[in-house]
Amino acid sequence: MLIKSSKNVTAVILFGSAIALMGYIIGHNWVQYFQWFIPLGTFIVFLGIYYFFKTVDLAKEFEFKDDDDFLAYFWNVLVLKIWTFIIFIWMILGSLKLIRNGEI
């Protein structure tokens, strides 16, 4: 398996998000060729999310630990995963827009 720990999954998701963001900023403002980075980053984030769901027990991932207070649990567990999902949806929509407009 390529990705063996949750630390590696997080790194893959962040790396894919950075590639897509770089493609969005550079591709729309300076060099249109860099728009190819948007679907590439989206694919990398998809792989990270796929391996996250494949390797992680969701009940254990979202459980409330005794040493956490509610605010730490809310930010570290819920908000980070919700924002990852929102950014992933944004990347999918950006890729579909590029394909629909014939820019890729």
Predicted TM-score of the model (pTM): 0.76
**Do residues 35 and 103 make contact, with C-beta atoms less than 8 angstroms apart?**
yes
Residues 77-101 have pLDDT tens digits of 778 888 888 888 988 888 888 888 8
**Do residues 23 and 37 make contact, with C-beta atoms less than 8 angstroms apart?**
yes
Residues 36-70 have pLDDT tens digits of 888 899 999 999 888 888 877 777 777 777 777 88
d(C-alpha 65, C-alpha 48), whole Å: 25
pLDDT band at 104 (very low <50, low <70, confident <90, very high): low
d(C-alpha 71, C-alpha 38), whole Å: 33
